[in-house]
Structure 1
C-alpha cells in the first residue's frame, strides 16, 4: 500500500503541471483570436450609398454608328445642311437656272427663271423682267419666255454643239427630269349619293307672255400655256 501511494504522488504532480501550462496557452489563443477577426473585417470594402457623392454615374447607351462614325440622325442632319448650302443658281452651258425656284404648273409643266449671258444677269439685277423656261418631262421638251411676252413653241433642248447661246439645255432637262418627283394622278371623286325619296319637281307648262333676249357673255381668251 505504501508503494502505491508513492507512485500516485508523482503522477498527481505531473497532471498539475500539465494543467498549469495549458492555462497560459488558452489565454494567449484568446488574445490572438480578436486580432485575426479584426484584420479580416478591415479587408472588406465599406458599403456605399447610391445617393451619396461617391455613387457611380448612370451609364447611357451610345447611338449606333457605322464606319463613318455618324449615327443615322447625324447623317440626316448633315444632308439637310448640304442641301441648304447648295447654290441656288446652277449653270448648264451658256445659261444658268434658278434651281431652287422650280414651280409645278398644270399638265406637269415645271417653270423657273433662266439667265443667259451677262446682259440677262444685268437686266435681272436692275429690276427688269427676267426670262423663264418651261420644261415638260414627259416629252423632254422646253419653251422659253422673255419677261411678260408669250411663250415660244415647244422644242427639244439644244446641246452645246447645236447652239452657242442656248447650248447645255439638254444637260439641264436631263438633270431636272431625272430627279423630279413623280406627279400623283388625281383620283376620281365618289359619285353623288342618290336619295330615292326626293322626286324632281314638275316643270311648268305655262308660256311666259314675253321673253327678253339674254345677252351672250363675252368669251375669255384661252389660258396661255408654254
Structure 2
C-alpha cells in the first residue's frame, strides 16, 4: 500500500511538470511538437534511471567505492551494489555513494524545472524534469519496497548505526581490507562474528556468511568451511538477493 501511495505522490507532480512543459511547447510550436515533447519525456525515463546509477558510480569513484550496476537497475529503487577499495571511513564513504544517485536526479530536476521558464529551443531542456523528479521522490523517502531498500533508507541506516548497518559495515570493512591486499586468513576470527543478529534474508547477513566460508577455507578448516558454504547455498536458493549474487 505504501508503495502505491509513494508512487502516486511522485507520479502526479511529475505529470504536472510534463504538462507544464508541453503547454509551453504548444504555445511556441504547436500540437505536433507538443506530442513529440511528451514522447520525449517518456523516453527520457530510462535515461534518468541510468543517470541515477551513474550518480552512484561518480560519487563511488570519488569516495573509493566500486559500484556495480544491476541488470534491472532502471526498474528498481535500488539497483546497484558497492564494494570498498579501502577499509578506512567506510560509513561516510558509503553514505555519500548511496546518496549520489539522488543528488544527480535532484540536479537534473532543478535544471529541467528552471528551463520551464525559458523560451524557444531551450524549453526542450525541461523534458528532463518529470522523470528526474519521479526517481528523486521514490528514493528520497527512507522506505523498504518489495524490490529493495531506497537509497535514503540505506543512508539513514548507516547514519543511525542500526543493526543492519553494523553487519553491512563489517562486511564492507572486511572487503576493504581484502582490497588493500590483506589475506582473509590473517583477519581475527572474532571480526566475522562480533556483530548484531539480523534477519537471515538480509543481503548483508548473506554476504557475511559468504565471508565466513571463505575465511575458514583460507585457514584450511575444511569442515567449518563446508558448513558455512552449505548455509550460504541454502540462503541463496531461498532468497537469491541480486545484491549478493552479482558481486
Asked if Structure 1 and Structure 2 have the same fold, meaning a TM-score greater than 0.5 normalized by the shorter chain, the answer is no
Q: Name which structure has the greater RCO, CA cutoff 8 Å, separation 6+.
A: 2
Question: Which category describes the TM-score, using the shorter chain as reference length?
Answer: under 0.3
Q: Provide TM-score, normalisation by structure 1.
A: 0.23
Q: Provide TM-score, normalisation by structure 2.
A: 0.22
Whichever structure has more strand as a proportion of its residues is: 1
Question: Whose Rg is larger?
Answer: 1
